Structure 1
């Protein structure tokens, strides 16, 4: 399958899915690129529009209806195993953010029998490429959920749910003690994970859950304590989906769920890619379950923090003027270890570095041979660092002129974890990125 990409138009790109239902990864991508380069001049008659004409119409099958029917059967099968006893009613406000999610979302609430408790933000209900009510149509962006929250306030509702315009990502917010709180991608990720484990028919020891390298380490902590297998992949659902397939094919574990911090969630029983509609269906089921237990998303999060520890993130980016500058920044960081004869710096901001993984140069301090388990890509920049109670990843964006950082700290309390994460983030930007030296713009 080939589908349009919503990356910048100048990229002139598209996404390709392989026969396993996942986005392509090496070496398939290189093979396709090579085939394109070898066939830049189309064969005569290659672009034949007559196949869709009346004479040849029998050769063309419109599969939209059949695919939709199969998809919603999969969604129904997923949530049927999570049915809550009783008649718990949870009212929510939903926005498709001027995108295409509403039709599918309404089908989901019909499956769940919650149509009467589903209030739509009418101003954002229909597709509109101008996105007139938001500065940027991403539920993660500041202010993007303001209209949905106002709609919720008007209707006396304390839960807001959202999809991004193409409905492959999912966001949620809850009004707690009179103030709206937007759940982060990591918080939603572990809430989904906890629910998937608690409702799975499989023995916990046979279950595998996945997350990307820039997502919270809380999922790993949950796996260590509860006994499920956790695996980390490179960033992006092309990796999460393919690795999930590989794990399940081995027969020792079944990979049932994966997520990354950028509000992307994958439920393997439906598709092996991020899916905002499946996430919406599962989250509504979770809300009903929590309501029957006398709790809420915020309350459930506190339960998880008390069991596994408080994990707080501080993510951000700087804008780089060019790929060459980005490479210079990373090379400069690597050279900080040269003076002590080390492969990596000894410390950052007064904190000793205990772990170093460089997926550009191909080094991992935790493996016996120093070779990373994850794939190495010398064309991109990505380093992961571990310190006492802190882990962070810095990487060059593949689609934007940015150097991104993802910092997470674990502590016995929320405030301490949040403070530590911010301190380390500040040290990364000032001590390692050095904006004044490299001409970087701090976001």
Structure 2
């Protein structure tokens, strides 16, 4: 569910007509709904209600908007970050270091020091060399770093190859066959405070079976470690629950409540018996349907056997179709009549790349230059992956709250873009 609905024939974000935002801010522009962000966070959190000791840490990589993060912070969310920059975003949005989980395979010593200075809740360590580096940094500072070791359970997440993270050939985590020895080493290191185990098997999962398999493997590993006298205060299950991108299909991803039941079946009695906390790191599930990319038709071009809908948004504004062959529903802002003829368009942008294509032969009602269109389910990995390729100004962001909206990231001017560069005085 989201709060982007047609009212009187015009697509709105909550109670704001999208055409009003386009007029004020220009296009392309990302538009987020506060009500949708709040609803999705609550639905996910409530789906895990059987775990009284839990923390939901939003994956900042999905959407780094300070305004969106501030909305979630007010609901009590923590943050899952993969860089110092994302950590700083979380802090700036009001999420304290004690509610931040620092993930990622390549943390540098400087990033480790920053996390320790900010009182990070937990480092998710993904290799033994990283563990050794973190131990050295912590010892140098005279503190103990809170650590969960990320286990790679070798589970096929049955998702796109580029967003699968839990198979043995992926770069993420410590192989399940090596995790016990890594835990033993961590428990003996002077600069490490072992807090638990972590995993994250992939993104956009639409089947619960891989979760069940991964949770079961984590349970077995936790039990084996407990038998050795190694207690764990936290089990970090990661994120990955998918969202419905294709409005044309009746196949929907599992609900958070169903995900919660799988976690309960695998881990419920164990965490209650041991007093362990559950950590969750959703991103896409909370942010995707909370955002749209608003764009305008520049030209309609008739090619040889194909009709091209050329928009003012491009692959640098929404990378997912070019990178993952991802589908996003595309709808006109002015609602088409029920009897409007439907025809195929190749939907493309102005960037000088053949890959700058959002959709191929997409059935759409008639559209002409100047019409506004909206890419749905664009609130996750849209703006956060955007760039200024072709020296196109970075796409702005807007947050809607009821009948009001605010620009939360303005579109830079060309002068601002060029001012970041320097020409050496010897040229």
| TM-score grouping bracket, smaller chain normalisation | under 0.3
TM-score normalised according to structure 1 size: 0.23
Q: Whose relative contact order is higher, 1 or 2, with alpha carbons under 8 Å and at least 6 apart?
A: 2
TM-score normalised according to structure 2 size: 0.23
Q: Which structure carries more helix by proportion?
A: 1
